[in-house]
Amino acid sequence: MAKMINITVLFFANLREIISNKEISLEIPEGTTVREFKIIIGEAYPELIPALDSTLISVNKEFGFDHDLLPKDAQVALFPPVSGG
């Protein structure tokens, strides 16, 4: 059985409106990547799934890429894509 770690997930702009919350605490398996996190958060909040492919993710205030591992007690922020000009 995988060891579990806790992370804090922050939601911004319309993502916050979609789930009616700005922050949650989430328990995930140790060694979870950003890509795997997207699957986990989509399972927890299916209404986010359409936005996840274009959502920017930061891990501890730095850009998070699909292959990056989420460390224990990480702060993971989800930002919708910015459009306009």
* Three-state helix/strand/coil letters over 15-77: HHHHHCCCEEEEEEECCCEHHHHHHHHHHHCHHHHHHHCCCEEEECCEECCCCCECCCCCEEE
Residue 64, pLDDT score: 96
Q: What residue ranges do the domains of the chain occupy?
A: 12-72
pLDDT tens digits, 12-59: 999 999 999 999 999 999 999 999 999 999 999 999 999 998 999 999
pLDDT tens digits, 60-84: 999 999 999 999 999 999 999 776 5
CATH for 12-72 (3.40.50.1390, 3.50.50.60, 3.10.20.30, 3.40.50.300): 3.10.20.30
Pairing, β 62-63 against β 23-29: unpaired
